[in-house]
Amino acid sequence: MHTSKPDLVNERIDFPVIYLIQVLSLLLKNHGSDDVRVFLNTYLTLALLGVLGTGIVTSLLALKTGVQLRDQLLSSASETYVNDRALSELQMYLDRYERLIFGAYFEQRHPDQFRATAVRLHEQVSTEMKQLQQQLANMDEVSQLDSLLQTYFTTAGIIITELDQSPINHLAVQYRLQQMLQLEQKMHPVMADISDFFDRFERNASTIHNQEISRLTILTVALSMIVLAVFSLLGWLLYLLIIKHSKIRMLQAFPEYNPHPVMSLTKDGQVAYANPASYQLLKVLKMPAQDVSALLPKNLASLLEEVKNSDPPHRDWFGTLGYRQFQYRVHYLSLPPQLHVYMEDVTEQERIKNELVYRASHDPVTRLYNRFQLYEDLQNNNRHGISYLLLIQFHGYEDVLSSHGQNHVDMVSSEIAERVNTLITDYRALRAGYRWADEVFGMTVLSMDQDSLLELMEKIRHRLARPYGLGELEFLMRVRIASTIITDNDKAGSLISRCQTALRLSQDQKTIFYHPAMGEAYERQRMLEKGLETALERDELHLYFQPQVSLSTGLIVGAEALLRWQHPGLGNVSPDEFIPVAEATGIIIPIGDWVLRQACEFWGELKQQGIIDQAVVAVNLSAGQFRHTGLVNMIRDIVSVTGMPYDQLELEITESHLMHDLDASVEIMKRLQQLGVALAIDDFGTGYSSLSTLNGFPLDKLKIDRSFVVGIPGNRSNETLVEAIIQMAHALNLKIITEGVETKVQVEWLKKHGSNEIQGYYFSKPLPRDEFVAFIQQGQTL
């Protein structure tokens, strides 16, 4: 079989794009991209011009055809108009001729009077008839009409001859007139048929012309759509070519105008090209001007091998040149084998990244590690030999904040951080310091025995509890430290929770080590917290009253209102246990308000019933109540509602509550005293105040704590302390009441040394309301 190679030029191709693709394929095989670009520019330009020419020629042909159709339509319309006009005028002249003949007969005019007019009308009818015969020579109706007209005019000539006779033969004339009418009646349908023929001819001509115009319109639109489609296709191809050419030019210009170094390397790592930014970087780094390879890493060979063998074939790495950090991005191209290297100065980005990392892991005020970093370090894989966790809680931040503002709080926190860092330097067992919360700091400790740990904790607490001097100001911070051992299976959250539990349960302990039993204690505390939230609603709280007796008269001079809680599940909960919980959670404020209101209502009722006379009721104020801005107004409202006299209400304030802010405490106490309320210091001797400090407070009574009465008489240390308190209190004109009195010898000793009043189980235990009323009514005396 004989075969031949396909001839691209002669091969039949129905779609131009296929032809263009085949031509491009041949050019790409035999020529470079520049040849293709030149060919496409020429080919597409000529193609666009060809399409445009085709459109113009098509438009001209359509115009010519339209003109021809218009001329044909006008000619046809003109002929129809002429023929129709000739038929109409023939009819008109014939009607005139008929009226002339009939008029002449009935008016008895002589033929000489109308013969000229008759001849003229006859000629006009003949002229119009000839016009019809010329246009419609082959039409039978026209021949028939001509024959009828000849007979018509022959009959009319006979009538004119008869009218010229004298006398006129009327019967003959009337007979001929009757013939004319009959001939006219025969001509009417013939002329109607000729008129219908004209109408049909006009309609057929119009239909034919309309069809021709429609075909011309369809042809024109189709050719226009084809031209538009081809033109759009060629335009789109030209647009793609322009875009691609533009991208190629942009790509070629990319390395030249790129502000970052760009280099092209051979497969052996030799620099084949470097853009201007590479040489500019050499100048900035003060490196040899032409040695661009100095910008590349020293281990370039191994890195390039790694890139060639990777999938995908590109890698990023970082390097340092002088004082700057750079990111290298290397891409390997297999055809032809070459490597492209892109360098970018990331010094500033790395600085910002490091700063963000630092901020994420450090406290902004103290610059110690923050709570997130503590969590991270306590994870199992980050402990690095850590054996213990310490949480250090500072009490006193609220006083600094309320008296001097946030700026001084931050200054104190910074000083704490300095001491923490110093401790880490001084004691190798301390690994790192953290700020867990505003008032809580943390430290991690390396391996040691528990006794050594407790000794270290005490040293830490001693150093951190020293006064913090800020200029002329000095602040005391109370410090408590809790610790827990770290085992392999412990989670970070669990370790921190243990220390927090130990801190909550530490109470008066300055340092405490967590042990599992604390977990149960903490759960009990949580139960108490939850129960206290609804204790008032469930009517679980009750007031008891413990009488206070005058040592000089032996009579009851007052009573202290004491709160009791009957928990539905835990039974009778000691005030020593639930009062600290209520104070820590803030529930003490609504509970304290309830106690004050209940005590005043009860005392007011006793006053109205005459059961008591001048005896006072003593009510303890919590720290939250004492600091509350609405305290004075609340007491005023309660007294006004209950009807209880102000001078029979005594408010007991714990010594430590007054020392937080001396100026504010004095102001509050003065406002209370202005109402007429008596003020007493509760549990004196257990806090930090001195009698000289108390001299500035507007007080009425001082209450000696029960812890100093234990061992009296016999405990010389307690005896000396109580004697000193009583003597100095009397010097300040303060009454003395001693609580916790349980024996007669204690009563005698206190009476001898000047205590004004006593309170304790020796005289009466705390009593519920009904028993207290009965006790008063019995008239019990000391």
**How would you write 542-604 as a 3-class SS string?**
EEEEEEEEECCCCCEEEEEEEEEEEECCCEEECHHHHHHHHHHHCCHHHHHHHHHHHHHHHHH
Q: Give the residues across from 478 on adjacent strands.
A: 395
The answer to whether the CB of 452 falls within 8 A of the CB of 483 is no
For strand 616-621 and strand 649-654, is the pairing parallel, antiparallel, or unpaired? parallel
Overall CATH class of domain 539-776: alpha beta
The tokens describing 441, both together, are: 């700091």
The CATH architecture of the domain made up of 1-257 is Up-down Bundle (1.20)
Q: What is the pLDDT of residue 615?
A: 93
- Provide the token pair at 685: 């001797």
- The reported pLDDT for the residue numbered 227 is 76
Residue 300: name the closest of 281, 313, 286, 319 by CA. 319
Q: What is the distance between the alpha carbons of residues 100 and 119, in angstroms, rounded to a whole number?
A: 11
Q: The CATH number of 260-350 is which of 3.30.460.20, 3.20.20.210, 3.40.50.1820, 3.30.450.20?
A: 3.30.450.20
pLDDT tens digits along 374-412: 888 888 656 677 888 999 999 888 888 888 888 888 999
Using an 8 Å Cβ cutoff, are 708 and 724 in contact?
no
The string of DSSP codes covering 429-450 is TEEEEEEEETTEEEEEEES--H
SS3 at position 682: strand
Kind plus residue range of the DSSP H or E element containing 345: strand 338-345
CA–CA distance, 600 with 57 (Å, rounded to integer)? 115
What confidence score (pLDDT) does residue 40 get? Answer: 58
Q: Which residues in the chain come in under a pLDDT of 70? A: 1-45, 47-48, 51-52, 55, 58-59, 62-82, 245, 248-249, 251-253, 335, 380-383, 507-508, 517-522, 656, 659-661, 685-693, 782
CA angle 257, 259, 262 (to 5 degrees): 80
CA-closest candidate to residue 773, choices 603, 565, 564: 603
Q: Determine how many CB atoms are found less than 10 A away from the CB of residue 744.
A: 10
For residue 253, which phi and psi values (nearest 5 degrees)? -85, -15
Enumerate the domain spans of the chain. 1-257, 260-350, 362-515, 539-776
Which amino acid is residue 733, in one-letter code?
N
CB atoms within 10 A of CB 547: 24
- What pLDDT score does 10 carry? 39
Write the CB contacts of 38 (distance below 8 Å, at least 6 apart in sequence).
Answer: none
Q: Write the pLDDT tens digit of every residue in 49-107.
A: 776 677 677 667 766 666 666 666 556 655 666 677 777 888 887 888 888 888 877 87
CA distances from 520 to 514, 517, 524 (A): 12, 5, 6
What does the alpha-carbon distance between residue 631 and residue 114 come to, in Å, rounded to a whole number? 143
Residue 321 one-letter amino acid: L
- Report the relative pairing of strands 468-470 and 440-446 from DSSP bridges: unpaired
Cα 306 to Cα 302, 315, 331: the distances in Å are 6, 8, 11
Under the phi-then-psi rule, with left for phi > 0, alpha for psi from -120 to 50, and beta for the rest, what region is 265? Answer: beta
Beta-bridged to residue 319, according to DSSP, are 326
Nearest to 86 by CA among 151, 142, 150: 142
Strands across the sheet containing 271-274:
271-274, 262-266, 338-345, 324-333, 314-321
Q: Rounded to the nearest 5°, which phi and psi values hold at 319?
A: -150, 165
pLDDT at residue 543, rounded to an integer: 96
Sign of CA dihedral 499, 504, 506, 510: positive
Encoded tokens for 244: 């691609």
Determine which helix (DSSP H) or strand (DSSP E) holds 224, and give its type and residue range: helix 170-257
Please count the residues of the chain: 782
Residues whose CB is less than 8 angstroms from the CB of residue 429 and which lie 6 or more positions away in sequence, other chains included: 445, 446, 448, 452, 456
The correct answer on CATH 1.10.10.10 for the domain covering 362-515 is no
Distance CA 660, CA 674 (A): 22
Sign of CA dihedral 421, 361, 316, 345: negative
Structure tokens at 438: 């505003």
- The position carrying tokens 């024996």 is 743
Give me the phi and psi of 20, to 5 degrees please: -65, -40
- State whether residue 316 is helix, strand or coil: strand
* CA 140/CA 125 separation, integer angstroms: 19
For 62-121, give the DSSP string. Answer: HHHHHHHHHHHHHHHHHHHHHHHHHHHHHHHHHHHHHHHHHHHHHHT--GGGTHHHHHHH
pLDDT of residue 258: 80
